[in-house]
Amino acid sequence: MSKKEITITVNGTAHTASVEPRMLLTHFIRDVMRQTGTHVGCDTTSCGACTVSLEGQSVKSCTIFAVQADGKSIVTVEGLAQNGALHPIQEAFKEHHALQCGFCTPGMMLSAVGLLQRNPNPTEDEIRWGISGNLCRCTGYQNIVKAIQDAAGKMPKGVKL
Amino acid sequence: MLPRAFDYYNPSSLAEAAALLKKHGGEAKILSGGHSLVPLMKLRFASPAIIIDLNSIAGLDYLKEEGGMLKIGALARESALESSAVIKKSFPILADAAKVIADPLVRNRATIVGNLAHGDPANDHPAVMLALGAELVATNGKKERVIHVNEFFLGTLETALKEDEILKEVRVPIPPAKSGGAYLKIERKVGDFAIVAVAAQVTLDDKGQIKTAGIGLTNVGPVPIKATAAEAALVGKLPNESVYAEAGRLAADASKPASDNRAPADYKKSMVREFTIRALRLAVGRAQGGK
C-alpha cells in the first residue's frame, strides 16, 4: 500500500505531505497541519463538526480522503478572519450568542458561509434547511439562525471561500 | 475511524478507469461522491484493496436535456438537482427527492449515479428511477451497455453491473405534457435513511384518465421495489380517491419490509399504503397543472 505525495492549499498556504490514501481530509487538517479548529464529532457523516469549504463548497471532511483534495484549496475556521478582523459570520455568532460549548461552531460557520454564498438572502426556513447537516446540542439553533440572518447582509462582496 | 489501507488511483479517463477495474477485478471499488462507500469503509463493512476515483475525469458532471432525454453524468452531484432548470420544469419528482437525500453538505459531494450504482434499497434514487423508467448506461471502456432500471437491482448492494463495468450515465425520457410526479419520504431526522418513501409518476391522457403510472418504493425490501400491480390498477382510470386507495393497497402488498429500529414491519406497510395515496394525489395534481 503505497503512500502518495499530495499538496493541499489550506487557508491560502500550500502544504505538501506524503500520506496514506486512507487518511481522511479531517486528519490531514488536524494531525498533519496541526490546525485543530476543524473538529471531529460523530465521525459518521452525521454531525457536520468537521465541515470545511473545499473549492467553495461546504463538505464534511470526515468523508473525503485527503488524496482527493490533492491540488485543491480548502478553507477552515482558521481562514475566516482576515488581517486580524473577524469574518462577518464570526462577528454575528459573537453578537447573537450563537454558541455555548463551541464544538459545532467552526463547522456551523463554514456551512453558513457556504449557504450565504449560494443564497445571499435566505429566508428563515432556508437557513434552517441549509444548516440541517450540522448538529448543535446546546443552543436549540435559535441564535444560530439569528446570527446567520444578521450575517446575510454583511458578507464581503466578491470574496469567495 | 480509519478504513483498511488501500491503493488509490485517480485516472483521467473512463477508459483508463475501466482498464484498472478489469486488471484488479473484485479487489477494486469505484469512488465517485463517496458518501455511501467511504462510511462503509470507515466502519470496515467494506475493505476494498484498490480505490479507483472518478473525480479527476473531466466532463462527467453534466445534468442536461438532450434529444428528449434528461442525461445525468457519473459526477453530477445531488446539489445540481436543486438548481437545474430542466428539473424544475419537467421533474418535480426529482426536485422532491433532491431535498430529502441526506443533508445539504452531503449533497455537495454525493452523486446521483453513485446513489444508483451502490444498489442500496434504502437509497432514494432507485425508487425514483423505477417510477420514471430510467435507463442506465454502463461502460467497460470499450463498449457501452444500456440497462433498463427494471433489470438493474438484483439484491441488496447487488446490481446488474459486471465486474469490469462502470456506471457512467442515467437517462430519463422527458415526460410528455400532462405528466407529474412526487417523492414522499418519512425519515426520523434529516440525514437518516427512509423509514418508508414512495415515488410516483403519472401521465394523463386528453380525457384526464391515467395513461401511464410508475410507482417505486424505498427501503421496504431487500431491493428497491417497483409496485407493478399498483401501476397496472391505475392505467385507464380517472384519478380519484378510490383509485388511489386501491393503488395504495396494492403497493403495500408489494412491499416486504423488515422490522428494525426504525419501525415495525406492519407500520411500514401501512405507511407504504398511505404514502402511495398521498404521492399519487400530489403527482396527479401536478400533472393537472397544480403545484
Return the percent helix, strand and coil in chain A, to nearest 5.
35, 20, 45
For the stretch B163-217, pLDDT in tens is 999 999 999 999 999 999 999 999 999 999 999 999 999 999 999 999 999 999 9
CATH (domain of A124): 1.10.150.120
What are the pLDDT digits (tens) for B59-115? 999 999 999 999 999 999 999 999 999 999 999 999 999 999 999 999 999 999 999
A112/A64 same-domain check: no
| B8, B10, B103 member nearest A133 (Cβ) | B103
Tell me, yes or no, whether A160 lies in a domain.
no
pLDDT band at B291 (very low <50, low <70, confident <90, very high): low
Say if the Cβ atoms of A67 and B108 lie within 8 Å: no
Q: Looking at the domain assignment, is residue A161 inside a domain?
A: no
By CA distance, what is B40's nearest residue in A?
A: A44
Eight-state DSSP code of residue B152: T
Plot region of B191 (φ>0 → left; ψ -120 to 50 → alpha; else → beta): left
Provide the sign of the torsion angle of the four alpha carbons B210, B213, B217, B222, taken in this order. positive
φ, ψ of residue B132 in degrees (nearest 5): -85, -15
Q: Does position A160 have pLDDT exceeding 80, yes or no?
A: no
For the domain that residue A46 is a member of, what is the CATH number? 3.10.20.30
Structural domain includes residue A48: yes
In whole angstroms, what is the distance from residue B258 CA to residue B264 CA?
Answer: 7
Is A158 a domain residue?
A: no
Please list every residue in chain A whose beta carbon sits closer than 8 Å to the beta carbon of residue B1: 43-44
d(CA A92, CA A145): 10
pLDDT of residue B233: 98
Q: Tell me, yes or no, whether A25 lies in a domain.
A: yes
C-alpha grid cell, residue A135: 448538529
Q: Would you say residue A82 lies in a domain?
A: no
Same domain, A20 and A72: yes
What number is the ipTM of this complex? Answer: 0.96
Chosen domain end from A44, A77, A110? A77
Regarding whether A54 and A18 lie in a shared domain, the answer is: yes
Query: Residues B35-42: what's their mean pLDDT?
Result: 97
Query: Do A59 and A98 fall within a single domain?
Result: no
Residue range B126-130: mean pLDDT, rounded: 98
Shortest Cα distance, chain A CAs vs residue B228, angstroms: 34
Q: pLDDT > 90: what percent of chain B?
A: 98
Q: pLDDT at residue A159 above 90?
A: no
Residues of B in contact with A59 (CB under 8 A): 105, 108-109
In a domain, A159, yes or no: no
Question: Is residue A15 domain-shared with residue A71, that is, in the same domain?
Answer: yes
The mean of the pLDDT values for chain B is 97
The pTM is what? 0.96
Q: Domains for chain B: give ranges and CATH numbers.
A: 7-53 (3.30.43.10), 63-173 (3.30.465.10), 179-286 (3.30.390.50)
Distance from CA of B217 to the nearest CA of A (A): 24
Longest Cα–Cα distance of chain B, Å, equals 61
Say whether A114 and B4 touch across the interface (CB within 8 A): no
pLDDT digits (tens, 9 = 90+) for A62-110: 999 999 999 999 999 999 999 999 999 999 999 999 999 999 999 999 9
Q: Is A52 helix (H, G, I), strand (E, B) or coil?
A: strand
User: Residue B194, class by beta-carbon neighbours within 10 Å (0-12 exposed, 13-18 middle, 19+ buried)?
Assistant: buried
Q: Which residue range is the domain that position A132 belongs to?
A: 88-152
H/E element holding B155? strand B153-155
